[in-house]
Structure 1
Amino acid sequence: MADFLPITKKEMTERGITQFDFICVTGDSYVDHPSFGIAIISRLLESQGFSVGMIAQPDWRNKKDFCEFGAPKYAFLVTGGNIDSMVAHYTVAKRRRSDDAYTAGGKAGKRPDRAVTVYTKALKAIYPEVPVLIGGLEASLRRFAHYDYWDDAVHPSILCSSGADLLMYGMGELQITEIGRRFREGQTVSQMTDICGTCYLTDPVNTPYGAVQCPDFQIVARDKKSYAKATRQQMNEQDEVYGKTIVQRQGDKMLVQNPPMRSLSQSELDKVYALPYMRMYHPSYEPLGGVAAIEEVEFSIAHNRGCFGACNFCSIAFHQGRKIAVRSEESVLREAKLLASSPRFKGYIHDVGGPTANFRQPSCKKQLEHGLCKGKKCLAPTPCKQLEADHTEYLELLRKIRAIPGVKRVFIRSGIRYDYLMEDKNEAFFDELVRYHVSGQLKVAPEHCSNAVLDKMGKPHIETYLAFMRKFYQKTKEAEKEQYLVPYLMSSHPGSTLQDAIELALFLKQNKIRPEQVQDFYPTPGTVSTCMYYTGLDPYTMEPVYVPTDPEDKAMQRALLQYFQPKNQDLVRKALRKAKRFDLIGHGKNALVEGKPAAPQGKYTGTGWKKGNKSRKGKDHSWQKDVTKKGKGNRKRP
């Protein structure tokens, strides 16, 4: 246990430490692995000569755990954990989850709701003079006034609600390095107002000049157009080349977000992954059954960061950024050899990836000097003409990992951008992906088939997926393998109507796809899609967006994606009748469910029903028999 950072007073004393420089407080069980953000930050500080203690999942209902080590010399560092504490606790239906993969033994309830705020308030009550710095996903995505799905209300910046002294957003290595240096030189946290990648609160009189000003918290909390405008401003400045300081009034204080911190260089990223991680959960968790979250990442390798795909429902662009940062080949191979030498290694590297596995270079050379295009996407709705799709370097890396003694197979499980893959004229990577790197199933994310919905998602149109699907199965057949695509699909995203959900159900039936899992859209802080969900507006066009919020509407959309399951039959029939798609009920070749159509037989033209030479359009095409009355064909309109 001596090689893990101290988690008890006894371990602290055994190391001869009387006071830590920094104490980390996390909502996860302590896992010393580079896929856990707090592990990186703590090991990085340790490598710079600081002493660091770890308080994992403290009991927030009393002072004992927070007082384990006493006060640190410089600051407490607080994170909610690897994922948002509210997402960890609640399903999209706001039902309490029964387990937690980031907690020893999978036990739920070991962290509070809104962990960053609760931990920070507790520390401030016990140690009012000690700086508390917050970071990680939960803090990063709540740095501005934001819509909170669980309260169905707009909340102020987490700096206001928590009382923290400084917020680090994005990937925090360079921020914490600069903060550590300044503390060591004698600066106070109140003097650290110029560090990129950080946010702080100040009196309005101290507002920096030249900043982009968002509408105030009080305004965005009551006016949805202002909220949408603020979202667009925040997204537009999230670029390390041209991003400006952003300010937003929060009551009697001004929130200041300094420009984004630059991405780590390749050598800096290599050093981060070369730190002496134990690559496992703390041994004290073994009697509890360990920490499940380590299982998928223990023998996986992250070779990149960032994602220029920037889907609207994804927080990566707002947190990590769109610029791609990569480790060197030597660094990745060193880690692969380290994994292969582990006594627990069975010969399988589960993943060589990152946010998007097959991104290993910028989308174009222009962005290196000018940044990524403001308000535009590199891949959607169609690939930019400046896009440079090349898998050569990634392919060579995978080949060298496959050649390491003891490595039987190397899989890619973190997901690939098939639209980027289709732009690469050299099919060598596609060929070897199919031949060597698919573990029976390849997960990809078309998300929907309606191009109108895909536009709101910031995803490529469905024609791209269909072309990819055909080529994948063609290459799979040529390789004499039995492999399948597993498409990720999302229901009830802003812009998705019941008709769109039906279109997706038909698409799945026609392509013989039966998804085992589908995901309802989850409105989490810090995404464009969440802005659409709350405001009913597209923040880039300010045009209205249909938002499915009614629980029954959402349930029907979800059921349609799994129309073939017996438990969904009644809901699917109800959805089809509501949408006047009686042609899809019964025994026709396109029928989604069995049953009586409860409408005249005929052909659905897309705008109305046609029977013989007559057609009824608009609202009136929904006429049906009144089966409750006697007589010949009594008709009524619902």
Structure 2
Amino acid sequence: MNGFLPISKKDMEARGWEQLDFIFVSGDAYVDHPSFGPAILCRLLEKHGYKVGIIPQPDWHSTRDFNRLGKPRLGFLVSAGNMDSLLNKFTASRKVRHQDAYSPGGKAGFRPERATIVYCNRLRELYHDVPIIIGGIEASLRRLAHYDYWSNSVRRSILVDSQADLLIFGMGERALLEIAADLQQGVAVENIQDVQGTCYRVPNMDYVWDHLPLPSFDEVAHSKKKFAEAFKLEYLEQDPIRGRKLAQQNDEWCVVQNPPARPLTEAQMDEIYDLPYMRTWHPIYDKDGGVPAIQEVQFSLVSQRGCFGGCNFCAIISHEGRIIQRRSHESLIREAKILTQQKGFKGYIHDVGGPTANFRRTSCDGQLARGTCRGKPCLSPIPCKNLVVDHSDYIKLLRELRQLPGVKKVFIRSGVRFDYLMLAKDDFLEELCKYHISGQLKIAPEHVSDRVTRMMGKSNRKVYQAFAEHFRKMNERLGLKQYLVPYFMSSHPGSELSDAIELAEFIRDMGYHPQQVQDFIPTPGTLSTAMWYTGIDPLTGEKVYTAKSYEEKLMQRSLMQYWLPKNQAIVRKALRLAHREDLIGFDRKCLVRPEGAENKKKAGEAKGFPHKQKRNGGRKPAGTNKQKPREKRVRR
């Protein structure tokens, strides 16, 4: 027995088990690490006395793999994996991805499209009477009627299409333990209807009490106005304390959503991350070179969950929630000591954070008693007057980790909210620059147009520019040469061609050359996706422009990398379409040269436009790698 959870009958026999209580079917390869949901949930069930096995990435073309561990006593748990299976397979332009970091060797093709539905339907072929409970990001964000970008249609709740009995949304530890206890006591799965953080099915709304009715699937599928109305009601009730029960008719079934699960206490968070993980992939993947997804997290620490940043394109509000849940310093130090003993550890902790690294406390002191404010953002675009900005606990934690024997450096690589940082009156920026980055700090302003950042729920251009200057001065004072690496997004709802050009001019003026740019992908469960599909801001009723054609999306994306030869023609077309021919030419303010001028070096130089421009006044552009030192000349 190798310490991993059973994945075969042979593993069960080694433990002396004839039958499992739960079998977890996962779309990911089996990695026994606390950054992978199946590992967390299975280890937690194991600690509470249940016999658990895993079927990772079963062959869905038949039922054979699904019967690998036999029939479970209490139920099947099904997840598509750490990513929505369609997002895992397709790009924003609906092209097939050729790599899957959560599969052996990073190869694609080990999971089906709509994996949750496919897996459940195979299980139903084998066992009609065994409870099936679905969860994970795919189930969580598709729990009610939702817009599906890849089919360009509104789809029913995944609970109906999968034929599952229960759906766990959000972070599932509390809900799963409650369900397991009910099943253990003999409660029929159809009678488990009071667990927070779950959805269940009933024939119609006559079976539901004390609820908020949503427009039906039929209504939202045929009316974008009704879709926006349903989304607003759902979005505003995503709170574990003040949130109400929701009900929506999905054809022959009514899907009922209970309020989200209550936040985990510090002790409960510690329990989860103190479980006996193997911290690597299962040995069956050794021949393939392992599972690439672990590389980013193997020597990292998850210090908290939740995010009150309020980015409208992010699913965290609908999945983890706005209330911060954190681990104790003692738990994090215990895990850090374990990391120092791991094979391959070279003295560097790669990250200490969560969805947002510098959110280590609730945004205000009243949230745990009354919940989050309904319809009122905590931070962006305007900070709430009750927002508490305090990095003191995070600074103390980082200092403790830096002092551990065997630790050379502690990095912060998960997102840092610079707008929150700018409101602080503590020493966090100095600590960050001095100890926790190495040359570059990645941040995500996402855009610079006020219209677009407002639709994104992000702070505006002035806040980012103020931070960039603050960051520059801090590094200058410390005698360090460190640079910002900003991330930007194209084609977000609200972004017109003029906004994309404004962003391109900003990139030009700041001397940036972004190597990675992101095209907005409408994923289920986000406010931005509802805007993209309906053309309406569900919260305000305001009409929102959305770039949907392939050509315009390509234009907006290409403008963010206007200097690349492959983008020249489409950028010129975009500029002419927007009547910005002033940006086509040989002047320093121009983004591209006229047609046929790319190879006319002499013509360009004659007009005062050097073949290789020195941007940013000749200074090294912020966000680029350090220049290599000149090679010493050797006398012969």
TM class, shorter-chain normalised? over 0.9
Match of 2:440 in 1: 441
5 Å matches for 1:185-200? 185-200=185-200
Q: Which moved more, 1:437-446 or 1:108-117?
A: 437-446
Q: CA RMSD in A?
A: 1.2
Cα offset, 1:597, TM superposition: 12
Match of 2:385 in 1: 385
- Secondary structure at the aligned position of 1:293 is classed as helix
Match of 1:607 in 2: none
Distance 2:285 2:588 in 1: 55
Cα offset, 1:365, TM superposition: 1.2
2:30 is equivalent to residue 30 of structure 1 = yes
Match of 2:491 in 1: 492
Distance 1:430 1:53 in 2: 45
2:570 is equivalent to residue 595 of structure 1 = no
Match of 1:414 in 2: 414
1:49-75 Cα deviation digits (max 9, x unpaired): 100011000000011110111110000
Cα offset, 1:206, TM superposition: 4.3
- Secondary structure at the aligned position of 2:53 is classed as strand
5 Å matches for 1:138-177? 138-177=138-177
- Secondary structure at the aligned position of 2:222 is classed as coil
| TM-score, normalisation: structure 1 | 0.92
CA contact (8 A) 1:586 1:596 kept: no
5 Å matches for 1:45-444? 45-204=45-204, 206-426=206-426, 428-444=427-443
CA contact (8 A) 1:449 1:504 kept: yes
- Secondary structure at the aligned position of 1:318 is classed as helix
Distance 1:67 1:252 in 2: 30
Cα offset, 1:107, TM superposition: 1.2
Distance 2:244 2:101 in 1: 38
CA contact (8 A) 1:148 1:525 kept: yes
Distance 1:368 1:54 in 2: 35
Cα offset, 1:594, TM superposition: 1.2
CA contact (8 A) 2:205 2:249 kept: no
CA contact (8 A) 1:586 1:593 kept: yes
CA contact (8 A) 2:23 2:75 kept: yes
Distance 1:343 1:519 in 2: 35
Match of 1:565 in 2: 564
| TM-score, normalisation: structure 2 | 0.93
CA contact (8 A) 1:586 1:597 kept: no
- Secondary structure at the aligned position of 1:312 is classed as coil
Alpha-carbon distance change, 205 to 596 in structure 1, aligned in 2, over 3 angstroms:
closer
Match of 1:584 in 2: 583
Distance 2:298 2:596 in 1: 53
1:290-346 Cα deviation digits (max 9, x unpaired): 000000100000000000012100000100100000000111111111101223211
Distance 1:451 1:210 in 2: 41
Cα offset, 1:405, TM superposition: 0.6
1:198-248 Cα deviation digits (max 9, x unpaired): 001102154322211110000000000000011110110000110000000
CA contact (8 A) 2:195 2:258 kept: yes
**Structure 2: gaps of 5 or more residues:** 598-636
5 Å matches for 1:444-593? 444-593=443-592
Distance 1:304 1:310 in 2: 17
- Secondary structure at the aligned position of 1:199 is classed as strand
**Structure 1 residue identity aligned to 2:544:** V
Distance 1:392 1:188 in 2: 48
- Secondary structure at the aligned position of 1:248 is classed as strand
1:339-372 Cα deviation digits (max 9, x unpaired): 0122321100000010000001111113222211
CA contact (8 A) 2:340 2:347 kept: yes
**Structure 1 residue identity aligned to 2:508:** K
Cα offset, 1:278, TM superposition: 0.5
Cα offset, 1:480, TM superposition: 1.9
Distance 2:103 2:561 in 1: 31
Distance 2:343 2:502 in 1: 50
Q: Which moved more, 1:202-211 or 1:282-291?
A: 202-211
Cα offset, 1:477, TM superposition: 1.9
**Structure 1 residue identity aligned to 2:226:** S
CA contact (8 A) 1:26 1:78 kept: yes
**Structure 2 residue identity aligned to 1:148:** D
Q: Which runs of 4+ in 1 moved over 6 A?
A: none
CA contact (8 A) 1:585 1:597 kept: no
Distance 1:473 1:160 in 2: 53
1:147-205 Cα deviation digits (max 9, x unpaired): 00000000000011100000000100001111111111111111101111000110215
1:517-567 Cα deviation digits (max 9, x unpaired): 100000000000000111000001111100000111010100000011111
Distance 2:378 2:140 in 1: 24
Cα offset, 1:596, TM superposition: 6.8
- Secondary structure at the aligned position of 1:356 is classed as coil
Q: Which moved more, 1:224-233 or 1:177-186?
A: 177-186
Cα offset, 1:482, TM superposition: 2.0
Distance 1:56 1:422 in 2: 44
CA contact (8 A) 1:582 1:597 kept: no
1:597-617 Cα deviation digits (max 9, x unpaired): 99xxxxxxxxxxxxxxxxxxx
**Structure 2 residue identity aligned to 1:212:** L
Distance 2:334 2:465 in 1: 38
CA contact (8 A) 1:207 1:256 kept: no
Q: Which moved more, 1:239-248 or 1:469-478?
A: 469-478
Alpha-carbon distance change, 205 to 247 in structure 1, aligned in 2, over 3 angstroms:
closer
CA contact (8 A) 2:55 2:66 kept: yes
- Secondary structure at the aligned position of 1:221 is classed as helix
CA contact (8 A) 1:246 1:256 kept: yes
CA contact (8 A) 1:24 1:42 kept: yes
Distance 1:518 1:437 in 2: 25
- Secondary structure at the aligned position of 2:292 is classed as coil
Residue identity over aligned pairs, in percent, reads 53
**Structure 2 residue identity aligned to 1:595:** P
Distance 1:97 1:240 in 2: 36
Distance 1:352 1:593 in 2: 42
**Structure 1: gaps of 5 or more residues:** 599-638
